[in-house]
């Protein structure tokens, strides 16, 4: 009886041990498979992250290069424009200032424009004339006396510090004014010279 009990105990033990070993081996095999899958997935994700990072780096590099090229082109254009403007301004400002500050030159121009407003065989047009304040002594008597001979209508003459050179003129009460100041002449001449200056400087 004792022997049979021992045999049964040994048999149960051996069967349990064998089964435990099998289960352990199976668990070990499963763990290896899972580990291999995790490693493979991690490698794949790492490759995807690396590929994405490389693509983003390439895109950033390309964008940066394009931005630098664009900034350089804009800077070059701006510098060319500044050089062009400086040369045109230096070429135009002094002669125009001298001409529009010359009393005799202003008298001749004013006479032509007043005559244009009041041609022969037409009704005279009353005018408003604004002249530089610093030319009042030189131009006041001319504006009031000589222009009245050309224009039978009134010529309202004013002197303003806002007009540095040249003059402004308008038909009285019409709501618009023609400007012939030094700045106006500078702009007109500069617009003519700018393309030629640009061609000479940069081809």
**CA gap 40, 172 in Å, rounded:** 92
- Would you state the structure tokens that stand for residue 94, as one six-digit string? 């002094």
The percentage of residues in the chain with a pLDDT greater than 70, rounded to a whole number, is 87
pLDDT digits (tens, 9 = 90+) for 61-106: 888 888 889 988 888 888 888 888 788 777 777 888 888 888 888 8
**CA gap 160, 68 in Å, rounded:** 50
Calculate mean pLDDT across residues 180-184.
86
pLDDT digits (tens, 9 = 90+) for 22-57: 777 778 878 788 878 888 888 888 888 888 889 888
Return left, alpha or beta for 20; rule: phi > 0 is left, psi -120 to 50 is alpha, else beta.
alpha
pLDDT at 11 over 70: no
Predicted pLDDT at 151: 74
pLDDT at 115 over 70: yes
pLDDT at 10 over 70: no
Based on the number of CB atoms within 10 Å of its own CB, is 189 exposed (0-12), middle (13-18) or buried (19 or more)? middle
Predicted pLDDT at 185: 84
Based on the number of CB atoms within 10 Å of its own CB, is 191 exposed (0-12), middle (13-18) or buried (19 or more)? exposed
- pLDDT, averaged across the chain: 81
- Per the model's pLDDT, the better-predicted residue between 194 and 72 turns out to be 72
Which residue from 169, 187, 192, 198 is spatially nearest to 96, judged by alpha carbons? 187
- Per the model's pLDDT, the better-predicted residue between 196 and 181 turns out to be 181
pTM score over 0.75: no
Predicted pLDDT at 191: 82
Helix, coil or strand: residue 171: strand
């Amino acid at each position: 009886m004792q022997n049979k009990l021992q045999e049964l105990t040994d048999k149960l033990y051996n069967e349990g041990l064998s089964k435990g070993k099998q289960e352990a081996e199976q668990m070990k095999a499963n763990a290896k498979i899972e580990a291999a899958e995790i490693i493979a997935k991690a490698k794949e994700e790492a490759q995807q992250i690396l590929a994405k990072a490389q693509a983003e780096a390439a895109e950033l590099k390309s964008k940066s290069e394009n931005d630098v090229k664009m900034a350089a082109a804009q800077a070059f254009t701006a510098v060319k424009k500044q050089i062009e403007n400086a040369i045109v301004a230096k070429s135009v400002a002094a002669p125009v200032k001298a001409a529009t500050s010359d009393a005799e030159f202003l008298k001749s121009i004013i006479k032509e424009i007043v005559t244009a407003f009041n041609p022969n065989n037409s009704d005279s047009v009353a005018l408003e004339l604004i002249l530089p304040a610093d030319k009042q002594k030189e131009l006041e008597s001319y504006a009031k006396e000589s222009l009245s001979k050309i224009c039978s209508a009134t010529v309202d003459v004013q002197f303003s510090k806002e007009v540095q050179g040249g003059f402004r003129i308008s038909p009285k009460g019409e709501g618009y004014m023609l400007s012939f100041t030094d700045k106006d002449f500078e702009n007109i001449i500069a617009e003519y010279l700018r393309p030629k200056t640009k061609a000479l400087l940069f081809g």
